[in-house]
Structure 1
Amino acid sequence: MPHLQRRELIQGSAALAAIAAFHASRAYSFPTRSGEEVVKWTDQLPPNPVPEVIKNQLVWEDLDSWVTPNDKFFSIAHFNRPVIDESAWKLEIGGLVKKPMALTLADIKARLRQEVTFTVECSGNTGLPFFNGGIGNARWAGTPLAPILKEAGVLDSGIEVVFWAADEGEIKRADDVTFKQNFARSMSLADAMDPKNILCYEMNGTTLPPDNGFPVRLIAPGWYGVANAKWLKRIEVRDQRFENRFMGRDYVTLREEDHNGETVWVETSVGRARLKSAPARVTHIGSDYRIVGAAWGAPIDRVEVKIDDGPWMQATVDGTEEAEFAWKMWSLDWPKPSTGEHTVTSRAIDKSGNIQPAMSDPWIAKKHTYWESNGQVTRRIQVS
């Protein structure tokens, strides 16, 4: 910018700083009231029986920011949690490509930087009695995946992209064959080429934490957490659909479907996130109560809340954050509730008119696995 004068540079820098400060303040907006006290839910979770697998579940009553801090962000480990030496690490790009590549972290960071704010939810969240905090919202930064695949030159026969991770464990099949395998997930070439997908190395402005995939993970906005493979080591293009434990046996949803009066059992692999909401916490100032929650999984039009068996009431959805793939915060004032135990249920409605299903809806009631449990969440609270 040689033609800019010093004064213009100073003014421009000040403007940029002001914009950055504005965005930083917006990123932590949250519907709170000065002096409010949080009322604990009475239906607290039982102890987590697999703390080595599930870390840092979100405590809903503690939710107080739009962005989830790194030290409070949940993580799932399907095998081990690998410790990776950055200086020795490289990401291989291979399979059915014209130009195989091996990228260092410095190579990846030297490429175009792209950010996305994305709420990641584990597809098993709220599907198990001890698990309702497998969710968090973060600002992820990295480089777009599509240009790298284009540079590698995918062959015409390539239809599937597999993301191999560094974590590994022993698999024992039903036929008694035992073998060691790395975690891996795949998606079609068309899905992998989505310009929103990034090879992520940064989370909330800092280096990606070890539990969340250091040095590089896939961030695929709009997909359940399992598709956002952590600890990447290789990206491979193949000419067949990929089936492994995490595509064809585990993370498979089983549902009964009705076809002309006949029940058909259908198995589908977990993929894109589904419309969902949940009450997060109840606060009060004196006898004036407020219910606050979040909605995600699709572009949110509105959220409705039901107390006990009462009518659905429209909540106020916070409009300060317009990130396409991030959760929306909502709130409902609840003045002078009666003493005793109450239930609080929420449902989200997306911009296409889809309604988050009730637990009695066949979409949920006829589902026989805990994956993709996006039914309406009901919490219990005691008002004294």
Structure 2
Amino acid sequence: MGTEHLEVVFFGTDKGEVTIRDIKMQQNFARSMSLADAMNPDNLLCYEMNGATLPAPNGFPLRLITPGWYGIANVKWLKGIEVRDTRFMSLLMGRDYVTIREEEHNGETVRAETSVGRALLKSAPAKVTRNDSGHRVVGAAWGAPIDRVELKIDQGPWMPAVIDHSEEAEYAWKIWSLDWPNPSPGEHTVTSRAISTAGQIQPAMDDPLIAKKHTYWESNGQVTRRIRIV
């Protein structure tokens, strides 16, 4: 069997009771990925944070960090690593942390399940503050190399936000802002969308990719905030 069929499983110390087909058992937290993904040189086995021993709430004595993946992949309190030649199917790989989405196959609608994996392109407005020129919308973008972020207020046109380039690490969140001079009093909506360097655009909530998804995992649709200006 080629290495492309191998999986690497990361086991945490934390465990709990699960019930599968009326059988109760103790199961350790664990997540798996392909051998190629596990061997990515960006992955880290962390035992320190900011020059000090890794705190217990953050995963002491050892934590897996997989940059660019959904947070659930970063196994805390790591106790063991195994290589397997069959798919690993724990509760948290086979039932929880799965995305269920409608798909069309030969005119028939079916529901497909996929494991939560890599982070997806996303942005979100975080806050609106007052400044000397009026108001400023501040937010973040992440999940892919970010080319630009655009903002829409109410039903107006998309406007380019200003990205803070003080942190240029590959997987760092990009903080962005947009000055909003003299907004009218009352309620407004503020929506952001990120565009990656590959040209991918964060989808709208009515995009079939999002609208046909029946779980909230991997929901990277455009985020709209409601703001009241007084």
Return the TM-score normalized by structure 2: 0.95
Q: Deviations over 1:169-216 (max 9, x none)?
A: 00011x200000110001111111111111012234433222221111
**1:11-160 maps to which residues of 2 (within 5 A)?**
159-160=6-7
Cα deviation, residue 262, structure 1 = 2.8
Q: Which has the higher helix share?
A: 1
Gaps spanning 5+ residues in structure 2: where?
none
Q: Name whichever of 259-268 and 344-353 sits farther off.
A: 259-268
Q: Which amino acid aligns with 1:292?
A: V
Gaps spanning 5+ residues in structure 1: where?
1-154
Q: Percent identity?
A: 72
Are 1:168 and 2:168 matched, yes or no?
Answer: no
Name the Cα RMSD after superposition: 1.7
Aligned to 2:54: 208
Q: Which amino acid aligns with 1:303?
A: V
Secondary structure of 1:182's aligned partner: strand
Q: Deviations over 1:31-76 (max 9, x none)?
A: xxxxxxxxxxxxxxxxxxxxxxxxxxxxxxxxxxxxxxxxxxxxxx
Query: Is the contact between residue 158 and residue 239 of structure 1 (CA under 8 Å) also seen in structure 2?
Result: yes
Cα deviation, residue 378, structure 1 = 1.0
User: Residue 354 of structure 1: which of 192, 197, 200 is its match?
Assistant: 200
Are 1:180 and 2:180 matched, yes or no?
Answer: no
Cα deviation, residue 286, structure 1 = 5.2
Once residues 185 and 229 of structure 1 are traced to their aligned partners in structure 2, the CA distance between those partners, rounded to angstroms, is 7
Secondary structure of 1:364's aligned partner: helix
**1:170-249 maps to which residues of 2 (within 5 A)?**
170-173=17-20, 175-249=21-95
Cα deviation, residue 156, structure 1 = 6.7
Aligned to 1:340: 186
Query: Is the contact between residue 5 and residue 34 of structure 2 (CA under 8 Å) also seen in structure 1?
Result: no
Return the TM-score normalized by structure 1: 0.58
Q: Which amino acid aligns with 2:65?
A: I
Are 1:322 and 2:168 matched, yes or no?
Answer: yes
Cα deviation, residue 318, structure 1 = 1.3
Q: Deviations over 1:323-347 (max 9, x none)?
A: 1111101110000100011111111
Cα deviation, residue 158, structure 1 = 7.8
- Say which one has the larger Rg: 1
Q: Which amino acid aligns with 1:262?
A: E
User: Residue 110 of structure 2: which of 234, 244, 264 is its match?
Assistant: 264
Q: Which amino acid aligns with 1:334?
A: W
Aligned to 1:142: none
Cα deviation, residue 379, structure 1 = 1.0
Once residues 352 and 331 of structure 1 are traced to their aligned partners in structure 2, the CA distance between those partners, rounded to angstroms, is 22
Aligned to 1:60: none
Number of equivalences: 229
Pick closer, same or farther for the CA change 1:156–1:299 going to 2, 3 Å.
closer
Q: Which amino acid aligns with 1:172?
A: T
Secondary structure of 1:191's aligned partner: helix
Once residues 36 and 144 of structure 2 are traced to their aligned partners in structure 1, the CA distance between those partners, rounded to angstroms, is 20
Once residues 243 and 255 of structure 1 are traced to their aligned partners in structure 2, the CA distance between those partners, rounded to angstroms, is 20
Once residues 204 and 376 of structure 1 are traced to their aligned partners in structure 2, the CA distance between those partners, rounded to angstroms, is 33
